[in-house]
């Protein structure tokens, strides 16, 4: 059980780290410390009951990680009350609890001991932990030789396999490849179903929604919304889209796209005002199973009639492209009338394995392939859940070779 009442956290910012000794002495004598203050959290009250699950969502700097550290006891609140009952295990910062000169196996014993497990119990769980981490022969190498992804594998394996009563997971999961992220999500679900309380921090709102029954939206250290996960995540997604769509696309600069995620760029000649993912019944949906029908419905507004237009879509996991298609290269070319219209990209069967995916959508003119009229980079996410009939492997199935494009004017 986790209960927070009026929790706040104040950090003092020291701004004189590189000044000279003379200036430091002068500042002390003149009582000029040049200190600033930052409220990382302000009056946070929430509760996670035994077996409950809470997602923490919000932009970078909103206070999610600070709140997780307070729950775990890594740092203390400046004010308020924190009541945590149960064995706490978590993955908050990569490398925490590891000694970089010890091997992977030695660090399992060290980390699990810090979590309160007797040595005899650690021995019983060692094979399961190492099997989950899938580090192979590197289990006997010093962890200072590990990549960030390998550290994640070992850290999560220990945190999840020690039978915690409370599991805390920060955004470190984003470091892992798509397959290991999927394994982690499945393990979190398994622990949740066994009654482990879960607090999950993620920049993937749909993943947070699928894992947790409730969500807390933090903004600049304050609790902006708290309630059922679908309602809070929906409000958070709407706020992001309203911010990105209020002034239309930013001027297109092709050299920046390799460095940008979750952004919107284009010339604005035609804009995609709304993008929806629909299931086989035409309902808005963000969770599918392999071989489901999925439709991307795009509402477009063109300033003038545009000939030979086309769309591009890209589906990817974290830093791992699954497929990118330009419809113009596959005969999917259409004319856009002036005003409003609707475009549909249809996947008769979604050939993706279980995981959490990003979707990018672009609108371009075939005669000018280097310039987008409107391009939404990683603005949409969806989840493919496991199908017991299909099983799972580390490889993706190929996406359909053809998609169906349907373009119809909006009724006036």
Domains and CATH numbers, the chain: 2-237 (3.40.50.300), 248-409 (2.70.50.60)
The pLDDT value given to residue 31: 58
Spatial separation of the C-alpha atoms in residues 323 and 351, rounded to whole Å: 11
Q: Mapping DSSP to helix (H, G, I), strand (E, B) and coil, where does residue 110 land?
A: helix
Spatial separation of the C-alpha atoms in residues 103 and 140, rounded to whole Å: 5
Q: What is the pTM of this model?
A: 0.66
The pLDDT value given to residue 166: 92
Which class for 76: exposed (0-12), middle (13-18), buried (19 or more C-beta within 10 A)?
A: exposed
| Whether the Cβ atoms of residue 67 and residue 56 lie closer than 8 Å to each other | yes
Q: What is the pLDDT along the chain (412 residues), one digit of tens a residue?
A: 899 999 999 988 765 555 566 666 666 566 555 557 889 999 999 999 988 999 999 888 889 989 989 998 888 999 999 999 988 887 777 667 788 899 999 999 998 888 888 899 999 999 999 998 888 889 999 999 988 888 888 988 888 888 889 999 886 666 666 667 778 888 888 899 899 999 988 766 666 777 889 999 999 999 999 999 888 988 887 787 777 777 677 665 555 555 455 578 888 999 999 999 999 999 988 888 888 889 999 999 999 999 999 998 888 875 567 788 888 877 788 889 989 999 988 888 888 877 778 889 999 998 877 678 999 888 888 888 765 444 443 344 445 435 555 555 555 4
Under 8 Å CB-to-CB from 26, ≥6 apart: which residues? 32
Spatial separation of the C-alpha atoms in residues 353 and 321, rounded to whole Å: 14
Spatial separation of the C-alpha atoms in residues 67 and 219, rounded to whole Å: 12
| Whether the Cβ atoms of residue 285 and residue 350 lie closer than 8 Å to each other | no
| Whether the Cβ atoms of residue 199 and residue 171 lie closer than 8 Å to each other | no
Spatial separation of the C-alpha atoms in residues 305 and 290, rounded to whole Å: 38
β-pairing verdict for 320-326 and 306-317? antiparallel
Q: What is the 3-state secondary structure (H, E, C) of 316-362?
A: EECCEEEEEEEHHHHCCCEEECCEEEEEEEEECCCCCCCEEEEEEEE
């Amino acid at each position: 059980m986790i209960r927070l009442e009026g929790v706040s956290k104040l950090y003092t910012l020291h701004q004189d780290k590189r000044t000279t000794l003379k200036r430091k002495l002068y500042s002390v004598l003149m009582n000029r410390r040049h200190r600033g203050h930052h409220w990382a959290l302000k009056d946070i009250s929430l509760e996670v009951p035994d077996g409950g699950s809470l997602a923490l969502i919000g932009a970078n700097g909103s206070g999610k990680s600070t709140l997780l550290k307070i729950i775990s006891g890594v740092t203390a609140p400046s004010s308020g009350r924190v009541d945590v009952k149960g064995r706490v295990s978590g993955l908050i910062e990569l490398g925490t609890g590891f000694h970089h000169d010890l091997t992977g196996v030695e660090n399992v014993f060290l980390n699990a001991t810090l979590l309160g497990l007797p040595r005899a119990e650690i021995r019983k769980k060692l094979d399961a932990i190492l099997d989950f981490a899938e580090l192979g022969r590197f289990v006997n190498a010093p962890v200072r030789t590990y990549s960030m992804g390998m550290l994640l594998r070992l850290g999560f394996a220990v945190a999840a396999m020690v039978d915690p009563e409370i599991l805390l997971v920060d955004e470190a999961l984003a470091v892992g490849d798509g397959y290991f992220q999927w394994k982690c999500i499945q393990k979190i679900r398994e622990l949740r179903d066994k009654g482990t309380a879960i607090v999950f921090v993620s920049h993937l709102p749909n993943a947070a929604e699928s894992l947790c029954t409730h969500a807390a939206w933090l903004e600049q250290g304050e609790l902006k919304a708290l309630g059922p996960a679908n309602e809070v995540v929906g409000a958070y997604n709407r706020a992001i889209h309203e911010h990105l769509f209020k002034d239309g696309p930013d001027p297109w600069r092709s050299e920046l796209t390799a460095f940008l995620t979750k952004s919107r760029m284009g010339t604005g000649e035609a804009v995609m005002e709304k993008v929806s993912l629909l299931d086989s019944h035409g309902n808005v949906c963000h969770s599918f199973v392999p071989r489901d029908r999925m439709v991307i419905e795009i509402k477009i507004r063109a300033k003038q009639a545009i000939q030979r237009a086309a769309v591009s879509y890209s589906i990817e996991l974290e830093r791992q492209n699954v497929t990118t298609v330009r419809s113009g290269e596959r005969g999917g070319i259409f004319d856009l009338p002036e005003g409003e219209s609707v475009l549909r990209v249809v996947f008769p069967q979604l050939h993706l394995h279980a995981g959490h995916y990003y979707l990018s959508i672009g609108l371009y003119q075939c005669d000018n392939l280097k310039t987008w009229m409107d391009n939404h980079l990683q603005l949409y996410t969806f989840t493919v859940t496991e199908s017991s009939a299909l099983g799972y492997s580390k490889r993706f199935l190929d996406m359909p070779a053809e998609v169906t494009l349907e373009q119809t004017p909006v009724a006036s």
